[in-house]
Every structure is written in structure tokens, then in C-alpha cells.
Amino acid sequence: MEKWSGKPVSFADSTIIGGFWKTEQDLCRKVTVNAVYDRFEETGRFEALKMQWKKGMPNQPHIFWESDVTKWIEGAAYFLKKERDPELEAKIDELVGRMERTQDTNGYLNAYFTVVEPKARFTRRTDHELYCAGHLIEGAIAYKEATGKDNMLRVAMKYADLIDRVFRVEHSAAFDTPGHEEIELALMKLYHYTGEERYFKLAEYFINTRGTSDRDETYSFTDQEHMQSHLPVREQVTAEGHSVRALYLYSGMADLALETKEEKLTEICRTLFENITEKRMYITGGVGSTCRGESFTFDYDFPEYTAYNETCASIALALFCRRLWLIEADGRYADTAERALYNTVLSGISLSGDSFFYENPLAVDPRRNAFNDSRPEGLKEHLPILERVKVFGCSCCPPNLVRTIGSIGDYLYSTAGNTIFAQCYMDADTTLHLNGKTITLQERTEYPCDGKISWTLKSEGNFTFAVRIPGWCDKAELLVNGEKVPAAAEKGFVYLERDWKDGDRIELELEMKVKLWEGNPEIVDTCGRVAVTRGPLVYCAEGVDNDDTPLRDVRIDWDAAFELEKAEVAGREMPVLKVQASRREASKALYSDRKGKKVSFQLKLLPYYAWANRGVTEMDVWFLEK
């Protein structure tokens, strides 16, 4: 693959037929889309678009409520793209109509700065105006693509034109770059969708100006690192500050690097990716280890009970990876996207589809939370909640999950030149275009529950099919029309170049053995401990499955034999594991100078994404190495 030559293959070109993601999409469409809508209706987010709030009334509009609304519209639109639904479409039309009726004549659109502080527009960098505008743009494009209706897009473009004039042309705002990044990647998307160069120039301006302006304020309680404004972007070599802001910025930077083919910006994006994945990412694909600023901290800092790991941050990490694989062919990007999607992202939503986690810790002890809850407010520490909830005050994650699950097909393929890259595996039918050829692929798999993937071609032509071999896989077998072919990967891909015929079949079998992992010696929280994975899935144990055994005391032998079986967890069938483990015998002594007697027992583990679906219980990902 020639650098910077990648092209995305849209979810719109694929249909998820069955398997893991069909289950997730069906649940999201039937339950989650409506559940998020109902909670936003109840909390006044939709009502705020009418711009009728007065002081003393309930549900004062918040500075970022528009982003919640437009993310929901974007996610709902992705489902409408696949199947029109008059009732759902009418709900969106009503919301878009409110935007049309209340948008300022100059293009401005934000409820808070219209009815609460109308004189404070574009005066405080910390207040999310540009972030909301970015999500408006993405929602508008999605809705136009799904329905052909362009009224929301006209609203978004009118607002984007105002922002371009105020920030890039006149410099009449009180600050120069967004406090919460997101509009950068949205503007690049708008540029590609409309062909209007001013949107590209504005995205480029925001990215290039970041870290260079003395007018860019930050919060009084933090510093410029929090908003990635401590250095110009081409000098930033470590992931700093608010994790969601950072990864939305890095995604915009990757978009810009792909468009301009700039080597330096590409190098910085790669460096930031490596800093995150090699020193600042949890084994679950979670990022942003502290609640203080929802931020990255320092290398190898991975607390477990207080791990923040915002759901939106892992979604943003996957978005960053998806852009990087268009810049260069490297299987690490899809490996990381999968690690985030199958673990932390899906941990963010209940198996019932209507409740959510904002934070995703790697260990919980209900006793600690109960004690913390009993303390006076000033003495409480911040701990992740133990059960998912229907809505948050800051409810960015639920609609973000809707749009991610609705467009999950975006992670299936990419193209470059005469090559199709199979990035992530899903049971799907896809029709894509490659150098003037129309190619249809039927992919069948139970991945990530099973390591067998097959593709049947329904087209003819000469091209290269690049099959990804995940980094966690030690052994893979590849067949074309029943004949074994070498499966030696080059940066994570095996390249199959030939004159393909209609009906040709490619089969890949990934060895999905259970593996134990230890953390780097620098990680104090995992010293002497091991984590359990199978394929891209990280596993955890819950007290409810293990007779409330103290999980922190559980020991697993490095060479232990695991038993795999399918079982139901809260009504959902999934691959669970059993293994002979050990723990110390219960003792009355607080401390002892004698070695405790070990008791053997069968430890049950389930995929991390499924934890906390059966009531409050202890959970752990890392276990003592026997």
C-alpha cells in the first residue's frame, strides 16, 4: 500500500447479516435508540431546541446539550440508512424543524448561549460551542445520507460558515481554537461531502493554530495540557490531558495528514498512537486513567478500582485507528480498534440495551463503594458506579454508543490502489468499488466467539485481498478454494493477489486459544498478576459466579487448562471460561507469620463487556499468578 492512499469503505456498503454484531445492532435499533430518545425527552434536551426557556423554569439548557441531541440524530440516521422507519424519521424531522426555526439569522445555533447567556457567544473557550457545532455537522451529513433531506445540512453549513468567518477570517472571537476538539474531524467530513474548500481550510486552521495562541484560555483548575494546547500539534509526542478531546484532535490530525500527505503530521500521529498503546492504554482498550480531568496521566499508570476509562474515549480511540489504517497498512490499528470496541466500548452498554456506564473500571469491591456512599460529601473519593444507569447529567456516552453500533460496518474494510484490506471481522455482505470494478464479498463468521472467517467472492477481476492476522494470534491457517496458502503476515496482513473468479472462496482460521498476559514491570497495579484473554475478548470474574470468593486473592497457574463453553449471561449467550484456580483458606487472623493454606476451586470467567448485568457484585480482571 502506498502511504496516504487508503480509502474508507462505508457501513452503507455493507449489511450485517448475522453473528455478534447483528445481535448488537438489532438490540440497539429496537431498544437503545428509543431508550436514549426517551431519556433525552424527559430531561429537557429536546425541549431546549425550542429556545423558550426562561429563568426560574426547570431544565435549564446546558452548554453541551446540542451535542447529545445531534449525536442521537446521527446514530438514528445510520439505522434509517439501512431501513427507513417513518416514526423514527418523524421524530428527527421535528428536532430538525426546531433547529431551523430557532437558528439565528447569522447562522448561530446553541440553546444555552441563546436563552441563558446570549451576550457570551464565542467568549469562553471552555464552553463547548464548537464541539456542539462539530456534532451538528456529523449528524446533518448522516441524516442527509439516510433520507436525502438536506434541511439539517443547510443549518449545519450556515453555522459552519459563521464559524469560519468569525474564527479564520475576522478573528473576532475571544479565543482561537476549540476548547473541546471534535469540529476538526467534522469539518474534514463536511469538506469531503460538499467539496467546499473553506471547510478544509477551517479544519486546517484550528489544527495548525492549536498550541500557538496566547488567547486560548483553559479552565481555572487545570492547565493547557488538559486541552492539548501546551504545544503546537507537531511537537506533541505524548498523549496528554482530557482523553476524549485528545483522541478527537488526533483523529482530525490524521484526517489532515491523509489529505495533505504531510510526513511530519503522519509521524506525530503514529508517535501518539504508539505512546497510547505501548504506555497509556489498559488491556481492555480503555484510556484516560483518572477522573481528574478525565485525563491521561503518565506512562504505566493503570489503577484498577478507580480506573476512569470513559466509554467515549475508547470510541474516539477506535475512530483514530480507523483513520490511521487509511494512511498506512499496519494491522496494529485494527488490533487496537478491536480491543477498544469489544471490551471497553461494549462494557458501556447493558446487555438489555437501555443502561450505560460512563466509566469502565478493571476491578470493583462493593464494600468500598458502600462505605464511600455513606460518607459526607466532602470526604468521598471518586469511585466508578457499580451498575449502569439510564441517563447521566453529562450523557455523551449513550448517543455515542448508538452511532458507533449503527455504523460498525465502517470497521470492516478499506481499500488502497488495487487492494482490499479486511480490517475487522463481521458476518456481513459488502459491495465495494475498486479501480472501476464492483466487487461483492460475502463474509461469514461467528467472530469474536470463533476464529473461523470465510469470504465468498461474487465478482471477477484482478486485485489483491489483504487478510489481517491479529497480533494476538500465534497461529493462522489460510486457504483459497480449499488449498492452503502461506499465512506469513507483513505488518499484520497476508496479501493474496490473483485473478479472482466468481465463487472463489477464502477461508481463515485463527487459533483462539486462551492466553494469560502479564503487565510491564513498571505497572505497579499488575505486578505479580495475570489477565485472561481469548481472541480480542478480555475476560473478568464476578463474585456472583464464584460464591463471592475474594477475587483479589485468586491465583491462576500460567499453564492452567481452560475450559470453553457457551452459556447465558443475563439472557445473552456468550463464550465463558472455567479454570482450576486457588485461593487462601479463610482465616480469622488479620496478619499471620505462617503461609496460608491454599484451596483449589473452579473459577468462572465471562467477557469483560458483560460484567455488571446481574446486580451488584465484585469484579476483577487481574489475578495473582500462581
* Kind and range of the H or E run holding 22: helix 19-27
Q: Are residues 488 and 603 in the same domain?
A: no
Angle at 525 (CA atoms; ends 394, 339), nearest 5 degrees: 60
**Domain limit, last residue, from 189, 217, 245:** 217
The C-alpha cell at 12 is: 452503507
* Within a domain: 226: no
Torsion angles phi and psi, residue 292, rounded to 5:
-70, 100
Q: Give, rounded to a whole angstrom, the gap between the first and last alpha carbons of the chain.
A: 45
Q: Are residues 213 and 158 in the same domain?
A: yes
Whole-angstrom distance, CA of residue 516 vs CA of residue 557: 9
How many whole angstroms separate alpha carbon 188 and alpha carbon 454?
35
How far apart are alpha carbons 120 and 128 in whole angstroms?
12
Check: CB of residue 587 under 8 Å from CB of residue 596: yes
Can you give the three-state secondary structure of 278-324, one letter per residue? HHCECCCCCECCECCCCECCCCCCCCCCCCCCCHHHHHHHHHHHHHH
The verdict on 469 and 605 lying in the same domain is: no
- Looking at 160, 188, 217, the residue that finishes a domain is 217
Whole-angstrom distance, CA of residue 602 vs CA of residue 625: 15
CB contact at 8 A, 418 and 408: no
Q: Provide the whole-model pTM.
A: 0.98
Q: Quick check: helix, strand or coil at residue 181?
A: coil
Same domain, 204 and 57: yes
**CB distance 18 to 427 below 8 Å:** yes
Annotated catalytic residue, options 28, 132, 269, 396: 396
- 450 and 527 part of one domain: no
Residue 351 counted as domain residue? no
What is residue 358's predicted lDDT score, i.e. its pLDDT? 97
Judgement on whether residues 129 and 195 belong to the same structural domain of the protein? yes
Record the cell numbers describing residue 217, joined without a space: 484560555
Residue 180 resides in a domain: yes
In a domain, 302, yes or no: no
Torsion angle of alpha carbons 18, 351, 397, 187, nearest 10°?
0
CATH number, domain with residue 498: 2.60.40.1180
Last residue of a domain, one of 466, 482, 510: 510
294 in catalytic set? yes
> Which residue blocks in 103-163 are alpha helix, DSSP H?
129-147, 151-163
Instruction: Check if the beta carbon of residue 250 is closer than 8 Å to that of residue 320.
Output: yes
Specify whether 397 is catalytic. no
Q: Within a domain: residue 489? A: yes
Which regions in the chain score pLDDT beneath 50?
A: none
Cα separation, 198 vs 208, whole angstroms: 15
What's the rounded Cα separation, in Å, for the pair 163 and 368? 47
Q: Please state the separation of Cα 105 from the chain's center in Å.
A: 36
* 493: CB partners within 8 A, 6+ apart: 329, 331, 421, 466, 467, 468, 469
Q: Which of these is catalytic: 294, 310, 338, 443? A: 294
pLDDT tens string 181-200? 999 999 999 999 999 999 99
Cβ-count burial of 230 within 10 angstroms (0-12 exposed, 13-18 middle, 19+ buried)? middle
Chain Cα centroid distance, residue 203 = 22
Residues 185 and 83 in one domain: yes
Query: How many independent structural domains does the chain possess?
Result: 3
Q: Is residue 81 part of a domain?
A: yes
R_g of the chain, CA atoms, integer Å: 25
pLDDT for 626: 86
Same domain flag for 481 and 524: no
Q: Let me know if residue 208 belongs to a domain.
A: yes
Is residue 162 within 8 A of residue 153, CB to CB? The reply is no
Under 8 Å between Cβ of 467 and 334: no
Q: How far, in Å, CA of 425 to CA of 453, rounded?
A: 7
Provide the residue type at 520 as one letter: N
Q: Which domain holds residue 468?
A: 413-510
- Yes or no: say if 306 and 382 are a contact pair by the CB < 8 Å rule: yes
CB-CB contact of 303 with 382 (8 Å): no
pLDDT of residue 612: 98
| Residue 164 maps to a domain | yes
Report the b/e string of 185-194 with b at 16+ CB within 10 A: bbbbbbbebe
176 & 103 share domain? yes
User: In this structure, are 602 and 502 located in the same domain?
Assistant: no
Interatomic CA distance for residues 31 and 353, integer angstroms: 6
Same domain assignment for residues 94 and 205: yes
Are residues 78 and 212 located together in one domain of the fold? yes
